Structure 1
Amino acid sequence: MLIPDGFPGQRLLVLPRPLVREVRQLTGTPQLIVTDCGYFPRAHSHGFRRTTPVDEVVVIACVDGAGWCETEAGRFPVARGQVIVLPPGRPHAYGADADDPWTLWWFHASGPELDAFLDRAGMTVRAPVRRPHDPHRVAALLAEVLGWAERDTTLPSLLAASGAAWHALTHLAASRTVADDSDALIEQSVQYLREHLAEPLSVTGLASSVALSTSHFSALFKRHTGQSVLRYLTMLRMARARELLHITTWTVAAVAAEVGYPDPFYFARQFKKVHGVSPREYRGLSD
């Protein structure tokens, strides 16, 4: 039998629904509103099964113990340091491990753009469990959500809770899904690109370095970053070029060489294509 709440030492906050509706109607308020949040320590038999979907995203950070979740795509184990993100409008279930029940921070939030954001970030029913790059940071953000919500129900406190929740979601959007460890290989390649901007680089060479075919590597890279390898590399090089134009008095040719363009004229054309102005004009704008 699953128990939704009532655990020793728990903290729980549920906003009155009339207040939620009132805040949603105010102009100038954020797109994301936290409706419920809490902290359940060592939650034996905790769980919930929703056959009738709710309009909120459900975020559960497991900071100790273990648990599970279910979506239309199947059942997924959840370990310490992992986070469940369950999109709104879909049936789901979750619960604590029977032998090692989880300790969790959690929140529910609603907003008109949530579905599109979660889908774009890959936080779907097919991949509901995330492995954050910094699980302690995510847990701290969920604690901050609850702290602000417990303070009072004034608009400033509600806005602060919503801001912390949005920060947590964006952090999770940059995290890997548990099921797809191949993304760790792409992270290695991204780090290599960052550290070797000035060197000649090829997609085939990067793929070989992580023992993948060029086509498979390219597909994984685009799924992970949202961009092709060469476009991502251009983005990194241009970001470094902007920095150098700001903080140095180097010539355009020197900047070009530093970010991997031996031909300064080609660099200038690429820079203008990305920024709409030449490197010299960009430097003048920042003066």
Structure 2
Amino acid sequence: MPARDGLRPQRLYAVPRRQVTAALTAPVTRRLVVTDAGYSPASARFSVAPTDGARRTVVVICAGGSGWADVGGTRHRIGAGAALVIPAGTPHAYGASPSSPWTVWWCHLRGSDVPELVEALGSPVVPIRHLDRAVALADEIVGRLARDDDAPGRLVGVSGTAWKLLTQLIADRAAAPPPDDPLERAMDYLVSRLDGTVRVPELAALVGVSPSHLTTLFRRATGAGVHAYQTTLRMERARLLLTTTESTVSEIARDVGYGDPFHFSRQFRQLHAMSPTEFRSTTPR
């Protein structure tokens, strides 16, 4: 999402090194421990200079805008709805796109089970099929670390949340069809056009199948048609904007493709049994 006034401020939390050292020898956390985590809105233009990667695995969740990453000598583009996962010890650098800087949650991980979890992902860039869930988990990691205390269960809870985040990414990766699959291409196109109108015949022609076949593919994969899937994506993005920005309901409606904010509010209420304003007021931030 483009930089705008009202985004929550950048946050950064680091676990004291003595606590990390202790956690790496303790039950549960020795398998996975979060050493650092943060949130960077588009306005912060979050980036990391070239580094050898040290002993920490890096996980970045891109919720809006776009960025780039050089991982082991290969350049990758990271867009909204994708995760960047860099194994420990891998030379890397990454940063926000100058024209559309990303909004990201990130964390650094260590522990005996982390390499196996990362290996299961198979690629540094992983598509996220349920962005709101991934963002909620990443934000929970940051929020838990923000509690500046030495409670014994603090790092255990953070580790559990990080485990959920990684296993969700693994599940998303396993469920994703091949990149040349017409369903995947159609889904990717809808993600990129949340703010526009998409006609089923045009989308079908774009991915090389008939409109009826495309509708069948969507119903098999999602249980609903193309437009229902696009509405799900729009509402997913709307929930994210309601909980991570101070944008007005009218601004969010435009961002997710609704020219009429009243129509957007009615659609939101039908799906969530509350208005966008009520959702914002009842959701922890």
Report the TM-score, using the length of structure 1 for normalisation.
0.56
* Correspondence for 1:173: 170
1:52, CA displacement in angstroms?
2.2
* Correspondence for 1:27: 27
Structure 2 gap ranges (5+): 1-6, 185-208, 210-285
Deviations 1:218-265 (A, max 9, x none): xxxxxxxxxxxxxxxxxxxxxxxxxxxxxxxxxxxxxxxxxxxxxxxx
| RMSD, aligned α-carbons | 2.7
SS of 1:84's equivalent in the other structure is strand
SS of 1:167's equivalent in the other structure is helix
- 1:56–1:108 Cα contact (<8 Å) kept: yes
1:14 and 2:14 are equivalent in the alignment:
yes
* Correspondence for 2:111: 111
- 1:43–1:96 Cα contact (<8 Å) kept: no
Deviations 1:72-113 (A, max 9, x none): 251111111111111111111110000111111111110112
Within 1, Cα distance between the matches of 2:99 and 2:15? Answer: 32
1:121, CA displacement in angstroms?
3.2
Within 1, Cα distance between the matches of 2:28 and 2:112? Answer: 14
* Correspondence for 2:97: 97
- 1:63–1:81 Cα contact (<8 Å) kept: yes
1:161 and 2:158 are equivalent in the alignment:
yes
Q: 1:121 to 1:45 in 2, by over 3 A?
A: closer
- State, as a whole percentage, how many aligned pairs show the same letter: 34
Q: 1:8 to 1:133 in 2, by over 3 A?
A: closer
Q: 1:87 to 1:180 in 2, by over 3 A?
A: farther
- 2:69–2:77 Cα contact (<8 Å) kept: yes
The residue type paired with residue 181 of structure 1 is: P
Within 2, Cα distance between the matches of 1:153 and 1:68? Answer: 36
1:26, CA displacement in angstroms?
2.2
* Correspondence for 2:249: none
Within 2, Cα distance between the matches of 1:63 and 1:8? Answer: 14
SS of 1:94's equivalent in the other structure is strand
SS of 1:101's equivalent in the other structure is coil
Within 1, Cα distance between the matches of 2:39 and 2:17? Answer: 20
Larger radius of gyration: 1
1:153, CA displacement in angstroms?
3.4
* Correspondence for 1:191: none
1:36, CA displacement in angstroms?
0.2
